[in-house]
Structure 1
Amino acid sequence: MLSIYPAIFYKEDDGRYSVLFPDFDVATCGNDLNDAMNMAVECLALQLVGLKRDGDPFPVSSPVDTVDPVAYAEELGAGKPSDYFVNLISVDADEYAKLHFNKSVRKNLTIPVWLNEKALAQGINFSQVLQEALLERLGG
């Protein structure tokens, strides 16, 4: 499911960009605008995946025309920014997590020889069986 939230981008004096999500009270940054956009998508995905994992509801997305970058910066004690804009960031958190957060790791296991031979004879995929068993055991 696609989620869309406003983000405030502030250009820093050194050319980097700070990115803040008022609906989450989280921030990220990037070395340039392109990097900041990518980091904003990742930051939003992390927030949404964490909320979903914890069983918490997603906040209602603020309408973009109600986000005041100057007031938000002053509230944070950053003073009045001179170079800023508000942009909508969208992400399908589930798809993003599948592509970026669910990396596989290698695990070694030990089983009896007879069990190995029977499983090989039936063409069983050991990785798949282990994943299914772990998911069942963990209730997921």
Structure 2
Amino acid sequence: MKAVYPVLFTKTENNILIEVPDFDILTEGENMSNAIEMARDAIEVKCVSLEDANKPIPKPSALEGLNANDGVFAGEGNTVISLVDIDSGEYRRKIDTKTVRRNVALPSWLNYEAEHAGINVSRVLQEALISTLGLKTPNY
């Protein structure tokens, strides 16, 4: 799932405090670049968790409905609202690298040919699924 969520960033003397209202997420970052990374990571973790639990993922709030002065950290520094893009599918491909066993039925003659050609059937199946689904190859 790809989406763009509004995030409140509050710059303090020492760091940037982060609030993601749609998910009740609070975190922090060292600087703005790190804060955006932290917000994206926190949202993607939450989305993957909700997907795994078959729970609905909140739709992004409209910017017009948010006020920087209403944020949890509003009194701690200067707060700005910005948008952070997420891709929970890409995030899942990065973090969920464990292998799972699947039974695959092949005609005996095809299995014979693959074995004698030294072909890794699991690898070919992975590549075919990635191609068929139009996915990017993960960078392990």
TM range (shorter): 0.5 to 0.7
Partner of 2:95: 101
**CA shift at 1:104, angstroms?**
4.8
Partner of 1:87: 82
Per the normalisation by structure 2, the TM-score is 0.67
Match of 2:120 among 111, 125, 137: 125
Could you list the runs of 4 or more consecutive aligned residues of structure 1 that deviate by over 4 angstroms after TM superposition? 118-122
CA deviation digits over 1:97-123, x for unaligned, max 9?
21x212358xxxxxxxxxxxx996574
The answer on whether the counterparts of 2:3 and 2:87 sit within 8 Å (CA) in structure 1 is yes
The answer on whether the counterparts of 1:70 and 1:81 sit within 8 Å (CA) in structure 2 is no
Could you tell me the percent identity over the aligned residues?
Answer: 26
**CA shift at 1:82, angstroms?**
3.0
Per the normalisation by structure 1, the TM-score is 0.67
Partner Cα separation in structure 2 for residue 50 and residue 104 of structure 1: 16
Partner Cα separation in structure 2 for residue 81 and residue 67 of structure 1: 18
Structure 1 unaligned segments of length 5 or more: list them: 106-117, 132-140
The answer on whether the counterparts of 2:68 and 2:74 sit within 8 Å (CA) in structure 1 is no
CA RMSD in angstroms, aligned pairs only: 2.6
Structure 2 unaligned segments of length 5 or more: list them: 100-111, 127-140
The answer on whether the counterparts of 2:12 and 2:77 sit within 8 Å (CA) in structure 1 is no
Partner Cα separation in structure 1 for residue 32 and residue 74 of structure 2: 21
How many residues in Structure 1 have an aligned counterpart in Structure 2?
A: 112
Partner of 1:114: none
Partner Cα separation in structure 2 for residue 60 and residue 123 of structure 1: 48
92 and 79 in structure 1: CA distance in 2 versus 1, 3 angstrom threshold: closer
96 and 79 in structure 1: CA distance in 2 versus 1, 3 angstrom threshold: closer
Partner SS, residue 55 of structure 2: coil
For residues 1-140 of structure 1, the aligned pairs below 5 Å read 1-14=1-14, 16-73=15-72, 78=73, 80-98=75-93, 100-104=94-98, 121=116, 123=118, 125=120
